[in-house]
Structure 1
Amino acid sequence: MIFNPRQQELLEWVQRAGHVSVDELAHHFGVTPQTIRRDINQLADERKLHRVHGGASAHSSVENVEYSARKVLNIDAKERIAKLVAEHIPNHASVFMNLGTTSEAVARALQHHIGLRVITNNPHIAMTMCHYADSEVILAGGVMRAKDNGICGEATIEFIRQFRVDYAVLGVACIEMDGTLRDFEMRETRTSEAIIAQARNVFLVVDHTKFGRPSLVQMGHLRQITALFTDQAVPEALLPVLEETGTELYVAEELLGAS
């Protein structure tokens, strides 16, 4: 099927960014949201992208974007989120940190903290934080994935259950509008569930592309999360869920005039 120039540019944008909202697209193209929704529906019917709540996604529900691409995807947003999270973690705290590039951004943002005790199944985080002042990093054992070096599985879960920490910093692939949390792989989600169970406070760190993104495996619910950190206003449909669950919301908005 032949797409018009707007639809072709829309498709290229979604493929490049991973997720784009209807409002962003409508503003960029100078058309109504209804026009953009029709474009998205047509492209989705042709299996060129995925319809998601409030926008379009290039992501499959069964496979994540390659790690090399995720490291640079929405990097500015992830760094703003990370800086805000770091402001809510004190010195001399114990912290669980899981897989994910946003969690890795938080690890970098904690570089000026002292006396941290960090337990992680993410070797990238372990290598980043092992030199921090008066801090100690404990790397979980288990099966290491070739695609991103993440460690997960039954051995990892048993290791995590030995600890009870002050904070957990978690990334996740998807937050659905009813508050359900999802990710792509069973072993990874079970490992994250174990981290949630062993933390006094759970900080969920996600950029705006994760809202309504299709993902396969259920991981938990917002009722288990102390605070949600993101980079843009959350979808309105999620606000009643946050109020019901008592989950605090922090938005690391982009500063006006920032380059």
Structure 2
Amino acid sequence: MAHSFRQTDILEIALSEGKVTVEDLAERFGVTVQTIRRDLCELADTGKLERVHGGAVLPSGVSNIGYEHRRDLHHAEKAAIAKRCATEIPDSCSVFLNIGTSTEQVARELLNRTDLMVVTNNINVANILVANDNCDIVVAGGLLRRADGGLVGDLTSQVIAQFKFDYAVIGCSALDEDGDLLDFDVQEVSVSKSIIRQARRTFLVADNSKFFRSAPARIASLRDIDMFFTDRPPPAQVQARCREWDTQIVVAP
């Protein structure tokens, strides 16, 4: 395989899994570890990856992966997380679903529910739930972010402040070892804080790739979350903090 194509594939693996190791890549591509090290160094030189001992990770940055690309990543894991999360949301309640590909999956799991009120700042979520005639949908208006159909800004927060939700389901772009939920857009972070304030119970849906990423803006702490739905056990330090804070971790099968 030409090294340019191999590097493209390496980057795809890193985007999907959050990190790559020299030994694993050498085995996958049938090349020497020295060849892989050169590939990783070249990708690091262009800012696409960040070298760490034994491999590489996605670079710590201030911009997110494209929304359509994120929608394709970890699709099966997100579907399993969403299915498990939806079992904790009964009929005849109010729910907030925020921006994110994982919360879109939760919306799909609510299509057969009855007597729901769903408030969202995610146009994609609203479009999914239109198919459920037993669901009232409230769209929290604000500044439209064309890249992902999200509504953000002060107007969105003002609409959210008019409600008290039984449940809120939120996502994040990254989760660090201190138990902090992180994101890239400061305006979206402000809206997420408003959502948490107005919810009786807050659920986080985040696949394991979020354990290996970084983002600059802090949304909240796992201390503020009632249930954390994911597809793999998080790092030991995160698990310890969840036990301390009585935050329930639910690993979807």
User: TM-score, normalised to structure 2's length?
Assistant: 0.85
Distance 1:245 1:152 in 2: 29
2:196 aligns with: 196
2:230 aligns with: 230
1:159 aligns with: 159
Distance 1:107 1:52 in 2: 37
Query: Is residue 2:147 matched to residue 1:144?
Result: no
2:76 aligns with: 76
1:129 aligns with: 129
1:14·1:20 contact (CA, 8 Å) conserved in 2? no
Structure 1 245/45 Cα, relative in aligned 2: closer, same or farther at 3 Å? same
Structure 1 43/237 Cα, relative in aligned 2: closer, same or farther at 3 Å? farther
Deviation at 1:58, TM superposition (A): 3.4
1:103·1:171 contact (CA, 8 Å) conserved in 2? yes
Deviation at 1:216, TM superposition (A): 1.2
Structure 1 75/54 Cα, relative in aligned 2: closer, same or farther at 3 Å? farther
1:20 aligns with: 17
Distance 2:22 2:111 in 1: 37
Deviation at 1:170, TM superposition (A): 0.3
Where structure 2 has 5 or more consecutive residues not aligned to the other structure, the ranges are: none
Q: Which moved more, 1:157-166 or 1:229-238?
A: 229-238
Give runs of ≥4 in structure 1 deviating > 4 Å. 8-11, 21-31, 38-45, 51-56
In structure 2, give the amino acid aligned to 1:206: A
User: TM-score, normalised to structure 1's length?
Assistant: 0.83
Q: How does 1:152-191 map to 2 (within 5 A)?
A: 152-191=152-191
Deviation at 1:181, TM superposition (A): 1.0
Distance 2:190 2:51 in 1: 27
Q: How does 1:31-50 map to 2 (within 5 A)?
A: 39=37, 42=41, 46=45, 47-50=47-50
In structure 2, give the amino acid aligned to 1:95: V
In structure 2, give the amino acid aligned to 1:109: E
Where structure 1 has 5 or more consecutive residues not aligned to the other structure, the ranges are: 254-259
Deviation at 1:56, TM superposition (A): 4.3
Distance 1:75 1:24 in 2: 22
Percent identity for Structure 1 against Structure 2 = 35
Deviation at 1:168, TM superposition (A): 0.4
Deviation at 1:131, TM superposition (A): 2.9
Distance 1:55 1:114 in 2: 48
Distance 2:55 2:252 in 1: 21
Distance 1:147 1:192 in 2: 18
1:18·1:59 contact (CA, 8 Å) conserved in 2? no
